[in-house]
Amino acid sequence: MTARSLFLLGFAAALPLGLGCGGGGSDGGTSSPEIACTDGGAAAANAVALTCGGATNGTTEQVDVVLGGPAAGTTTLRGLNFDVMYDPAKLEYVPAVTDTSPLFSPNALVAVTLFNGQPGRVVASIQEFGSVVAPVSVGTGQHVALSLSFRRAAGATFGPTPLALENAEATAASAPIGFGSALALSYQ
Amino acid sequence: MRKRASLLIASLLLLAAGPAVFSQTPIIAMGDASGFPGDEVTVRLVLSTSGVLVIATESAFTYDTGRLTFVSASVTGSALAAGKSVDATVSGGVLEKLSVYDAGSNWSTPIDDGDMPLLRFRIAPTATPGSLLTVLMHDCTYTIAPTATRAATCGSGVVFVQVAANAPAISLGNASGAPGANVTLALRLATNGTLPIATETTIAYETSKLTYVSAAVGSAAAAAGKSVDPSVVGGVLQKVAVYATGGSWDTPIGDGDLALITFQIGAAVAPGSTLTISISGCKYTVAPAATTEVTCGSNGTISVSGAAVCPDADGDAYAVCSAGCSPAPGKQCGDCNDGNAAVHPNATEACNGIDDNCDTVIDNGGPALCDDGNVCTTDACGGAAGCSHLNNALSCNDGNTCTLNETCSGGTCGGGSARSCDDAKACTADVCDPVIGCMTQTVNMAAAEFSANRVDGRDLIVLADAYNSCPNDARYDAAANLDQVSTLPGACIDGTDFHLFMNSFGHSCP
């Protein structure tokens, strides 16, 4: 594990301490529990962050991997690698039928799966293939690179549980790309 | 001074002779000559002065330049005695004019009656024997003084092309051989001084006892560039012509062999007998339109000797032997069917109801004779009906190492189950090559930091960088060729490799 990934893991683990409940939280036991998501807001310039993509039903939340564009001009890159860590006692990763990236080209190679098939770590990679395809040019603003879905683990009720990024890096980026996650999901 | 005196004397002589001198006209006549085609002949010019003083003459000539070639002219007789010379005007080898005069001290000396120049011509080899070749002399003049030239009477000559006194002889030689053997007779030419350029001979023989085999050009004909042209009807030799159609057509043939004719003596011909090959209609040609028939020379004979040759009627090199015969050289005994060249000892036995190899066993070998090399058919020999091949349902091998437990169906091997090449290792791509069998290749292509012991995005970078490249491309990476196909187009990094990659993606590698 690299120093950077250790930093990212520690940053993600600290999130529940500074974040309150969000979304459809408990109203004192009178309403049905729903999954709720809180995040750190928009991704910073030339940084990747996890952001809430909205609940698809009461138990499932879409989590977007968002690349913040540069403050001005463009940043180019050929891909992203990262792991998404989560608590398998509370959350379950829901694989997509087909993983595609809105940010990268339709022909980009996208690989998303559970590490060793075991819950708790999602390994993801998006890569433009071959040097014959131009790298992606990212302008200012927010750019969704990938969307992942998580739902509550069967029978679990829980307060905010963080989703952290590890082993994160950009491929052939024209500027340093930072990675951080302030996203937490709760179901109570 | 001397010349002037001579002129004066000549003038005085002319005056003394008076008008009567000019009442006669000299005659320049030409003699005849004869020769065979190809010969050189001499033609004489003869002067008859008719009492006129002649100190020089001049004549023009016209002749058949295709059949006569001018060779030379020389002075002789009375002209030589008068100290004259001869001056031939020749253009392109053709004699045009002939002058007899003397530019020296004898210029005024008159020529007496008699021979003047001798002309030599060559008769062309193609000149037709018996023909007359005219040498026309015209525009004859004589000179009685340097400035006094008058017309003389011309007489033309004839060159007779002789028919050869002795006609060429064509004869056929003799040979001997045993029954069944091939013998060769020479068709010979004796030119007897003639110059034949082609010959033709009619041949007759007992076809029940002799079989024509071939005719080859003989040494004499070959030396003259000739070919032999046998006329064969229904396998029977009718005539033998010897000639050339190319550049050697008019080259005379010398004494010697015209052609070598080969016959096979019938196997049933009794030893000790003599077979005659008659020749007739012997013709020779000395020019394309000059063919002459001559009496043929001796016929050919074949003395049949030795023991009878065992017959090999089907020509398969195996004879049917008996006590009274021996096989011809190069042949063996033992044929059990002399009417079928495919049947003889050592022949390949086939399923056909016949004893092909003369081992007394019909279809020796049984079903093995019908082996079609297909394990999915059961082969059987049905004698004269031939082979049968019935489909079976046996286990078989289709030659593809990636399939197991194949079975025969409809005469072909197929089906079966796919061979598993899974090595139970998560980080290898396992594929089956139909020829090589199972092959594995690691998918953990990047080995640094967190990617060292697992298949993840860094490995996908390796695959992506090489994606859509083929061997010999700059981007090609053999490590990313996960299906390990070595030749195009499968050798390219493509979706198959990505599919194999995804089987291992997200797995840790021990």
Contact list, B469 vs chain A (CB under 8 Å): 130
Band of residue B5 on the pLDDT scale cut at 50, 70, 90: very low
Q: Ramachandran region of residue B195, left (φ > 0), alpha (ψ -120 to 50) or beta? A: beta
Report residue A126 as tokens. 């998006």
DSSP letters for B461-474: HHHHHHTT--TTST
A3 touches chain B (CB under 8 A): no
Residue B419: per-residue pLDDT: 92
Report residue B236 as tokens. 């029977």
The predicted-structure confidence for B183-232, as pLDDT tens digits, reads as follows 999 999 988 877 788 999 999 999 999 999 999 999 999 999 999 999 99
The three-class DSSP label of residue B370 is: helix
Band of residue A21 on the pLDDT scale cut at 50, 70, 90: very low
Q: Which residues contact B233 (CB under 8 A, 6 or more apart)?
A: none
The whole-number average pLDDT for the span A176-186 is 96
Cα(A76)–Cα(A138) distance, rounded to whole angstroms? 6
Cα(B432)–Cα(B417) distance, rounded to whole angstroms? 13
| Burial state string for B387-421 with b = 16 or more CB within 10 A and e = fewer than 16 | beeeeeeeebebebbbbeebebeeeebeebeeeeb
The predicted-structure confidence for B295-305, as pLDDT tens digits, reads as follows 788 999 999 88
Q: What are the structural domains of chain A?
A: 3-19+38-183 (2.60.40.680)
CA nearest neighbour of B335 among B350, B313, B353: B313
The predicted-structure confidence for B15-56, as pLDDT tens digits, reads as follows 333 333 445 889 998 887 777 777 788 888 899 988 888 899
> Would the pLDDT of A20 be above 60?
no
The predicted-structure confidence for B91-145, as pLDDT tens digits, reads as follows 999 999 999 988 777 788 889 998 888 889 888 888 777 677 888 889 999 988 7
The predicted-structure confidence for B414-427, as pLDDT tens digits, reads as follows 999 999 999 999 99
- Angle made by CA atoms B469, B470, B473, in degrees to the nearest 5: 75
Q: What are the structural domains of chain B?
A: 2-161 (2.60.40.680), 169-304 (2.60.40.680), 348-419 (no CATH), 428-504 (no CATH)
The mean predicted confidence, pLDDT, of chain B is: 87
**pTM (2 d.p.):** 0.48
Please, which residues bridge with residue B58 across strands? B99, B141
Size of interface A-B (CB pairs under 8 A): 85
> Would the pLDDT of A26 be above 90?
no
ipTM of the complex: 0.83
Contact call for A127 and B456, based on CB within 8 A: no
The predicted-structure confidence for B387-412, as pLDDT tens digits, reads as follows 999 999 999 999 899 999 999 999 99
> Would the pLDDT of A18 be above 60?
no
Contact list, B456 vs chain A (CB under 8 Å): 81, 83, 123, 125, 167
The predicted-structure confidence for B240-260, as pLDDT tens digits, reads as follows 999 987 777 878 898 999 999
A16-20, A121-125, B171-175: segment of lowest average pLDDT = A16-20
Residue B287: per-residue pLDDT: 57
Question: Rounded to a whole number, what is the distance in Å from the CA of A70 to chain B's nearest CA?
Answer: 24
Residue B502's H or E segment, with its range, is: helix B495-504
The predicted-structure confidence for B159-182, as pLDDT tens digits, reads as follows 666 655 567 889 999 999 888 889
Given the structure tokens 């399939």, which residue do they identify?
B403
Please, which residues bridge with residue A82 across strands? A124
Residue B63's H or E segment, with its range, is: strand B56-63
B176 and B304 in contact (C-beta within 8 Å)?
A: yes
